[in-house]
């Protein structure tokens, strides 16, 4: 893919055709699913389609009724258009993406929540779900904050939830049902919203090197939103957590890696390891299991990972790599099989430090695709046949005090 890009710059699209075709042949070699592909893995796009992409090359849109308005920030808009160096690249790369897209598509009917979106009759939660906005030198992002009716004056936990591509805070809140858990547990939940000015598919830019650095790019904005909520509400600084799905899961990994002083634990659903890619070609490869091996800098934080073993959008090997990135030499692990009644079987692997404390949990969900396990069909990209990822994440978080 990099060779094709170089050819585009020097020779143009005609001479590049053969190179792209050869690259796509090799791309299929990266698809090594642990099990045969299953129906239900949605065509979620974890990367920004280049300018000029046709409708046929775009991910299927999520129906949105409650999406907050987005303000286009000049710098973010400029960054989004730097992805394609010239018009020729914008024409050829979408064809490459379309080829990859066809390998990810499958029937939706198996899981009721895939692509369903939020309905207008969605039941409101008893707390308040309000809109906010945060701006720093890297840009502006909107967010939604849920304050449960059960919140007391005592410092509470805060969970930062990062949505996947094509999603928005309302959609993600309904799909994960994290606000319902907030009512039960008396914690705050904030949902940063990616801007279409920064990414056409509203994906967090996990594959951009700028957005893999502390106090730079999107990590600085998400950390800023976190601190802003902490300053405005009674939050226990030792109980601040971050979690996400797909592109949001990859960004959650980045946040936990760069800000171990801010986040006590991380939840990653169908995501990727830290610095798995640095540009568009390596992002495509990483999603199919051929990612950069990077050692997480500094201190690692406890992490819980969920991944379907039939995920054809983000290869399950990424889940293994997320756990391995934070592992210490000589750590012990125990595997426990389980079964959801009338649902998926799964294997839960718990990784322990030498002192017996848990530093990671890895839930491999058998037969599941690219969707939030145990999610509600009112939100997109959910699979109600899996173990309840939201509840298990909160259980894990509450043990990391």
Which pLDDT score is estimated for 355? 84
- Burial grade of 332 (CB within 10 A; 0-12, 13-18, 19 or more): exposed
Instruction: Report if pTM > 0.85.
Output: no
User: Over the stretch 253-262, which tens digit does the pLDDT of each residue have?
Assistant: 999 999 999 9
What CATH number corresponds to the domain at position 182?
Answer: 3.40.50.1820
How is the beta sheet containing 156-162 ordered, strand by strand? 128-136, 139-147, 188-192, 156-162, 235-245, 265-269, 303-308, 358-365, 345-352, 332-339
- Specify the number of domains making up the chain: 1
Which pLDDT score is estimated for 292? 76
Across the chain, mean pLDDT equals 78
Residues of the chain with pLDDT under 50: 1-46, 48-116, 118-121
Q: Give dist(CA 388, CA 262) in Å, integer.
A: 26
Pairing of strands 188-192, 156-162: parallel
- Burial grade of 13 (CB within 10 A; 0-12, 13-18, 19 or more): middle
Which pLDDT score is estimated for 13? 34
- Token pair of 318 as six digits: 């990424």
Cα-based torsion angle of the residue sequence 113, 114, 120, 126 in order, rounded to the nearest 10 degrees: 50
């Amino acid at each position: 893919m990099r060779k094709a890009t170089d050819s585009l710059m020097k020779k143009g699209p005609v001479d590049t055709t053969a190179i792209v075709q050869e690259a796509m042949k090799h791309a299929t070699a990266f698809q090594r699913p642990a099990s045969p592909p299953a129906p239900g893995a949605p065509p979620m796009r974890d990367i920004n389609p280049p300018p000029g992409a046709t409708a046929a090359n775009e991910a299927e849109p999520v129906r949105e009724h409650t999406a907050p308005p987005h303000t286009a920030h000049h710098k973010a808009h400029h960054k989004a258009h730097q992805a394609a160096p010239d018009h020729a690249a914008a024409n050829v790369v979408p064809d490459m993406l379309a080829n990859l897209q066809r390998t990810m598509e499958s029937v939706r009917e198996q899981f009721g929540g895939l692509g369903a979106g939020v309905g207008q009759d969605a039941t409101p939660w008893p707390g308040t779900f309000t809109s906010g906005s945060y701006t720093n030198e890297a840009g502006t992002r909107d967010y939604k904050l849920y304050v449960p009716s059960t919140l007391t004056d005592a410092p509470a936990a805060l969970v930062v939830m990062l949505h996947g591509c094509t999603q928005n805070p309302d959609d993600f809140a309904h799909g994960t049902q994290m606000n319902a858990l907030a009512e039960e547990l008396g914690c705050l939940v904030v949902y940063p919203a990616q801007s279409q000015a920064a990414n056409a598919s509203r994906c967090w830019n996990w594959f951009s090197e700028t957005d893999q650095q502390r106090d730079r790019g999107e990590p600085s904005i998400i950390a800023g939103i976190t601190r802003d909520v902490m300053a405005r509400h009674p939050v226990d600084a030792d109980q601040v957590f971050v979690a996400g799905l797909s592109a949001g899961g990859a960004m959650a990994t980045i946040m936990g890696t760069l800000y171990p002083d801010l986040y006590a634990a991380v939840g990653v659903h169908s995501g990727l390891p830290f610095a798995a890619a640095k540009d568009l070609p390596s992002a495509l490869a990483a999603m199919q299991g051929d990612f950069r091996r990077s050692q997480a800098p500094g201190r690692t934080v406890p992490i819980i990972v969920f991944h379907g073993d039939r995920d054809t959008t983000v290869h399950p090997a990424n889940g293994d790599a997320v756990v391995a990135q934070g592992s210490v030499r000589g750590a012990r692990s125990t595997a426990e099989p389980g079964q959801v009644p009338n649902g998926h079987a799964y294997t839960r692997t718990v990784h322990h430090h030498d002192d017996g404390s848990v530093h990671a949990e890895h839930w491999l969900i058998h037969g599941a695709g690219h969707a939030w396990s145990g999610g509600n069909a009112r939100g997109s990209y959910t699979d109600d046949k899996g173990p309840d990822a939201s509840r298990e994440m909160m259980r894990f978080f509450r043990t990391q005090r």
